[in-house]
């Protein structure tokens, strides 16, 4: 983002919430949340997630939006303006979207492929047990779909037609939500769904571990686009009289609500079609394996399936566009190249790095960085969500709590409204979040090194 240019602001209060929610809602809700919920014990994951969202997610999002609105700058500039020594935090945050964009686009490519599948009338084949694995373990096919997705994203960024996409997706998003609710209702009324529902909603405390926390907190950051400077940038566009606290509630409610619905289509779907005992073994392919089975059983399901994946594609594109915009603006601030050159370079970089994640399911599947059965995509996902983002969040809390002090944030929030949860905000930012994050990070490092199993 060019720091000298005068910033435009969102014209309406709802405009801010919609834009922030548009960036937040994407594959994180539809693809990532359900498979993590399935893998990490269902109900206990859900409970952990919700508790973290209303406390920790709330505090961090308020802080980021207020930082952006106060300084009127995006991430690197915002930290620098408040304290020169902390500019480094801006740079670490900036690394996150650079890591996420390539593998996000690989998943986006899978979504695009499934649109093709339904258009070609192959919905029944897609419901077969090996369809998904055969597809991702191939070499060229997943790469081509991935490249199509990246190029589509790049074209939008290059020609600056986000406005058009936004207009379309403002209409598509509600349709996606309604369709998802319909699919969820269909799934949970199938015989056998009850076991899945129970798994999803009833917490089993014996499954609680430091891994549950790490997965939940990583998902929280990912899904709300936190701990990577995005919300700082959004905050910088926000008007001074808009209510920060309410906006945060609305964004969280919308984002988590949608994730919850996505989980309701997919987790009980596993119970219905392959048995609840398989839930623990879920991985990044879950959505692509379960939903085609659901569609294959539904009357008119193949048409619904095609429509569904088209809508998902739009949700994914709005997110990937905003991810690429972020990466481009980081380089635009730092080098003297034209915007066009930067978009081209970022596109090439994304294609090259994403290639690793894509091939990680095929010819590179012998590389299992996080242990038996994990992929390169899991690795990039882990590094960004479970390592860098918790570190950024920890440093942000220290910065806000002890360097610029929580009052700076409170004052900014109070410019436009009361700050109802100010006390909670202070306690979380200064004490609970830093201690919790240190514990989570240390235990995760020790876990990964195999020193302890928690």
Q: Which residues bind ligand TRP (CB under 6 A)?
A: 23-24, 26-29, 97, 100, 222-223, 225, 228, 230, 319, 322-323, 326
Are 127 and 293 within 8 A, CB to CB?
A: yes
In angstroms, what CA-CA distances link 445 with 135, 206, 210, 212, 441?
A: 33, 22, 11, 14, 6
* Distance (Å, whole) CA 39 – CA 422: 35
Of 168, 187, 178, 185, the residue nearest 315 (C-alpha): 168
- Token code pair at residue 271: 């119970």
CB contact at 8 A, 179 and 311: yes
- Residue 399, exposed/middle/buried by CB under 10 A (0-12, 13-18, 19+)? buried
> Angle 406-96-153 (CA atoms, 0-180°, nearest 5)?
125
Indicate the residue among 24 and 310 with the shorter CB distance to ligand TRP.
24
Beta carbon of residue 233, minimum distance to ligand TRP (angstroms, whole number): 9
Q: In angstroms, what is the minimal distance from the CB of 371 to ligand TRP?
A: 25
Q: How far is the CB of 134 from ligand TRP (least distance, A)?
A: 26
CB of 320 to ligand TRP, least distance (A): 7
Which two three-digit tokens encode residue 143? 């790469």
Query: Please, which residue, 23 or 48, has the CB nearer to ligand TRP?
Result: 23
CB of 74 to ligand TRP, least distance (A): 12
- Residue whose C-beta lies closest to ligand TRP: 28
> Least separation, in Å, of the C-beta of 104 and ligand TRP?
7
Alpha carbon distance 356, 443 (integer Å): 28
Q: How far is the CB of 328 from ligand TRP (least distance, A)?
A: 12
Shortest Å distance, C-beta 325 to ligand TRP: 8
Using CA atoms, how far apart are residues 363 and 338, in angstroms rounded to an integer? 37
Inter-residue contact 50 to 219 (CB < 8 Å): no
In terms of CB distance, is 153 or 212 closer to ligand TRP? Answer: 153
CB closer to ligand TRP, 127 vs 346: 346
* Cα–Cα distance for residue pair 346/356, rounded to 1 Å: 16
Q: Is 312 or 356 the residue whose CB approaches ligand TRP more closely?
A: 312
Number of neighbouring beta carbons within 10 Å of residue 195: 16
Q: Which is nearer to ligand TRP, 153 or 223 (CB)?
A: 223
Looking at the Cβ atoms of 381 and 412, the one nearer to ligand TRP is 381
242 closest CA partner among 77, 79, 414, 424: 414
Residue closer to ligand TRP (CB basis): 24 or 177? 24
As measured in angstroms, the least distance from the Cβ of 315 to ligand TRP is 7
**Helical residues (DSSP H) of 120-209, grouped into ranges:** 123-126, 131-136, 140-159, 162-188, 193-201
When the beta carbons of 238 and 426 are compared against ligand TRP, the nearer one is: 238
């Amino acid at each position: 983002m060019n720091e000298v240019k005068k910033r435009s602001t969102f014209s309406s209060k709802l405009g801010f919430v919609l834009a922030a929610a548009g960036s937040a809602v994407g594959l994180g809700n539809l693809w990532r949340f359900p498979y993590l919920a399935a893998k990490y014990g269902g109900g206990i994951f859900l409970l952990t997630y919700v508790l973290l969202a209303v406390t920790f997610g709330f505090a961090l999002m308020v802080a980021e939006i207020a930082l952006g609105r106060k300084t009127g700058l995006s991430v690197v500039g915002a930290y620098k303006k408040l304290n020169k020594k902390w500019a480094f935090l801006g740079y670490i945050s900036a690394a996150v979207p650079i890591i996420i964009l390539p593998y996000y686009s690989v998943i986006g490519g899978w979504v695009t492929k499934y649109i093709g599948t339904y258009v070609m009338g192959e919905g029944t084949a897609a419901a077969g047990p090996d369809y998904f694995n055969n597809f991702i373990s191939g070499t060229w096919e997943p790469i081509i779909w991935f490249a199509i997705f990246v190029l589509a994203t790049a074209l939008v960024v290059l020609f600056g037609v986000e406005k058009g996409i936004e207009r379309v997706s403002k209409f598509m998003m509600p349709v996606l939500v309604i369709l998802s609710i319909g699919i969820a209702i269909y799934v949970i009324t199938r015989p056998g769904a009850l076991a899945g529902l129970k798994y999803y909603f009833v917490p089993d405390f014996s499954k609680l571990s430091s891994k549950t926390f790490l997965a939940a907190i990583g998902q929280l950051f990912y899904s709300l686009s936190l701990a990577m400077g995005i919300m700082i940038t959004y905050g910088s566009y926000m008007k001074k009289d808009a209510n920060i606290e309410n906006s945060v509630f609305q964004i969280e409610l919308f984002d988590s609500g949608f994730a919850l619905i996505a989980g309701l289509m997919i987790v009980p779907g596993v119970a219905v079609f392959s048995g609840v005992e398989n839930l623990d073994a879920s991985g990044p392919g879950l959505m692509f394996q379960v939903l085609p089975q659901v569609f294959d059983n539904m009357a008119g399901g193949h048409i619904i399936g095609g429509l569904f994946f088209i809508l998902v594609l739009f949700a994914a594109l709005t997110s990937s566009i905003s991810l690429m915009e972020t990466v481009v603006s980081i380089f635009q601030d730092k080098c003297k190249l034209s915007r066009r050159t930067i978009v081209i370079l970022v596109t090439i970089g994304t294609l090259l790095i994403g290639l690793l994640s894509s091939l990680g399911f095929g010819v590179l599947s012998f590389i299992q960085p996080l242990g038996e059965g994990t992929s390169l995509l899991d690795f990039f996902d882990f590094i960004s969500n479970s390592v860098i983002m918790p570190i950024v969040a920890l440093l942000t809390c220290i910065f806000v709590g002890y360097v610029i002090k929580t009052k700076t944030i409170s004052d900014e929030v109070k410019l436009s409204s009361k700050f109802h949860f100010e006390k909670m905000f202070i306690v979380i930012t200064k004490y609970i979040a830093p201690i919790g994050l240190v514990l989570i990070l240390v235990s995760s490092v020790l876990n990964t090194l195999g020193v302890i199993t928690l």
